[in-house]
C-alpha cells in the first residue's frame, strides 16, 4: 500500500499549524513559501480532504486537519525516536533526554537532581520542561517527554497509557514569620483551633496545590472556609516573601523552603496529629524506547531517593 503522504508533508502541516503562518513555517523548515504551499496542496489532494482554512490571511485547521495533525505528530515522534535509538547504539552511552516536572518540583527539587546527574553523566544532553502535572503527563503520553516527576493528580484518561511509580513523600509545612507570637514563644505545635486565629497567605483558589491542602484539612474536620485569608498570590516565591515580611502564615512544600530555613527567615510550626503530605510520582510511557540516557537517569533517581527523603522537615 502506497501512503498518501510523505514525512516532509507531515512536517509542513505541523509547522503551519504551530506557526499559523505559511511565511514563518517556511522559514523554520528552510524552504520557500511556494514550495511549502505546494507540499500542503499535494497532501490535501492525496488525502482528498481540506486540512487548512485559508480565510483572509487567517490560518486555522479544519476538523479533519486537527484529527490528521494528531496522527502526524505521533508519526514524526516515532521517526525521531527511531533515529535516537540508532544513534544511541552507535554512540554508546551518549545521548539526549527530555525530563519533565510539575511546577513546584521543577522549581525547587528538579534542579538538585539535575545537578547531581550532570556531575555523573556530563556527556548526556538534558532538556527540562516544567509545567502543570496535566500538561507534563500529556507530553509523556505523546512521547515529547521521556520521563517526568510530578506531584499533582494524573488524569484518569491518561493513566492507562502511563507507568506511574511512587517516588518520595513531599510534606507541606505550615510556616509563620519570625515575629509571630508563636515563634517568639517558641511554640512548636498548635491545635486545630489555633488555625482560625492565623492570617493566611495562599495560592489562588483554582490552584491544584491549594485544593489538595484544603481537602486534607477538611478530612481532618478543619473548616477551611473559616480561615482568615488576607492575601492570594500567584507564586510560591511571593508567598514565602510575604511570610518572611511578617504578613501572615502559609502552607508551603518543604522542598521550597530549604533556603529560608537555612537563613532563619521563617519558622515551621506543626499542627497536632496532622501532617499534609503528597506522593511525588515518576511517570513514563511504557511503549517508548528507553535509551541508555533514560536508564542512567532513571537509575540515578532511585539512587537519590534516600537523599530526597529530606523533603520532610
pLDDT at position 307: 66
Q: Are residues 162 and 304 in the same domain?
A: yes
Question: CATH number for the domain including 242?
Answer: 3.40.190.10
pLDDT at position 89: 61
Percent of the chain having pLDDT more than 70?
Answer: 95
Q: Residue 126 is placed in which grid cell?
A: 538534558
**Residue 2, in any domain of the structure:** no
Alpha helices in the chain (DSSP H): 7-19, 22-29, 33-47, 63-91, 103-104, 110-120, 133-141, 156-159, 181-184, 208-219, 236-244, 258-263, 292-303, 305-308
Q: Are residues 197 and 177 in the same domain?
A: yes
Give the dihedral sign, CA 305/311/312/313.
positive
Q: Are residues 176 and 271 in the same domain?
A: yes
pLDDT, greater one: 70 or 290: 70
How many domains does the structure of the chain reveal?
Answer: 3
Q: Kindly report the number of other CB atoms within 10 A of residue 41's CB atom.
A: 13
Q: Are residues 173 and 254 in the same domain?
A: yes
Sorting pLDDT into bands at 50, 70 and 90, what band is 309?
Answer: low
**Residue 257, in any domain of the structure:** yes
Q: Are residues 271 and 174 in the same domain?
A: yes
Q: Are residues 181 and 159 in the same domain?
A: no
Q: Are residues 212 and 222 in the same domain?
A: yes
Sorting pLDDT into bands at 50, 70 and 90, what band is 116?
Answer: confident
- d(Cα 198, Cα 249) in Å, to the nearest integer? 7
**Residue 173, in any domain of the structure:** yes
User: How would you class 113 by CB atoms within 10 Å of its CB: exposed for 0-12, middle for 13-18, buried for 19 or more?
Assistant: buried
pLDDT at position 91: 62
Q: Are residues 70 and 108 in the same domain?
A: no
Q: Which domain holds residue 238?
A: 169-278
Strands 95-102 and 147-150, bridge-based pairing: parallel
Read off the pLDDT of residues 2-29 as tens digits, 9 standing for 90 and up: 889 999 999 999 999 999 888 899 999 9
Last residue of a domain, one of 75, 100, 120: 75
Q: Are residues 29 and 64 in the same domain?
A: yes
**Residue 258, in any domain of the structure:** yes
Mean pLDDT for 288-292 is: 84
- The model carries a pTM of 0.67
**Residue 1, in any domain of the structure:** no
- d(Cα 292, Cα 299) in Å, to the nearest integer? 10
Q: Are residues 266 and 296 in the same domain?
A: no
Find, among 302, 289, 279, 299, the residue nearest to 146 by Cα: 289
Q: Are residues 273 and 200 in the same domain?
A: yes
**Residue 81, in any domain of the structure:** no
Q: Are residues 160 and 224 in the same domain?
A: no
- d(Cα 70, Cα 142) in Å, to the nearest integer? 9
Look over the chain and give the mean of its residue pLDDT values, rounded to a whole number: 89
- d(Cα 224, Cα 106) in Å, to the nearest integer? 28
Amino acid at each position: 500500500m502506497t501512503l498518501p503522504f510523505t514525512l516532509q508533508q507531515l512536517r509542513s502541516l505541523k509547522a503551519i499549524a504551530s506557526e499559523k503562518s505559511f511565511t514563518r513555517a517556511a522559514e523554520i523548515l528552510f524552504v520557500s513559501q511556494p514550495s511549502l504551499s505546494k507540499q500542503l496542496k499535494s497532501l490535501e489532494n492525496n488525502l482528498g480532504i481540506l486540512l487548512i482554512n485559508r480565510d483572509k490571511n487567517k490560518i486555522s485547521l479544519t476538523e479533519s486537519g486537527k484529527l490528521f495533525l494528531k496522527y502526524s505528530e505521533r508519526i514524526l515522534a516515532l521517526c525521531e525516536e527511531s533515529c535516537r535509538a540508532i544513534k544511541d547504539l552507535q554512540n554508546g552511552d551518549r545521548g539526549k533526554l527530555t525530563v519533565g516536572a510539575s511546577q513546584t518540583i521543577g522549581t525547587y527539587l528538579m534542579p538538585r537532581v539535575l545537578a547531581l546527574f550532570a556531575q555523573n553523566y556530563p556527556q548526556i544532553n538534558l532538556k527540562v520542561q516544567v509545567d502543570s502535572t496535566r500538561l507534563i503527563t500529556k507530553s509523556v503520553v505523546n512521547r515529547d517527554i521521556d520521563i517526568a516527576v510530578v506531584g499533582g493528580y494524573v488524569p484518569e484518561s491518561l493513566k492507562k497509557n502511563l507507568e506511574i511509580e511512587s517516588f518520595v513523600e513531599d510534606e507541606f509545612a505550615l510556616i509563620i514569620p519570625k515575629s509571630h507570637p508563636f515563634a517568639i514563644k517558641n511554640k512548636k505545635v498548635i491545635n486545630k483551633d489555633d488555625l482560625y486565629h492565623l492570617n493566611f497567605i495562599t495560592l489562588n483558589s483554582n490552584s491544584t496545590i491549594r485544593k489538595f491542602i484544603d481537602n486534607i484539612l477538611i478530612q481532618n474536620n478543619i473548616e477551611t472556609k473559616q480561615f482568615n485569608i488576607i492575601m492570594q498570590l500567584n507564586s510560591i516565591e511571593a508567598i514565602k516573601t510575604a511570610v518572611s515580611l511578617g504578613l501572615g502564615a502559609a502552607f508551603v512544600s518543604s522542598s521550597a523552603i530549604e533556603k529560608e530555613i537555612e537563613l532563619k527567615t521563617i519558622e515551621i510550626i506543626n499542627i497536632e496529629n496532622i501532617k499534609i503530605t503528597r506522593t511525588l510520582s515518576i511517570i513514563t510511557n511504557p511503549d517508548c524506547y528507553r535509551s541508555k540516557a533514560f536508564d542512567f537517569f532513571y537509575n540515578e533517581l532511585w539512587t537519590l531517593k534516600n537523599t530526597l527523603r529530606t523533603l520532610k522537615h
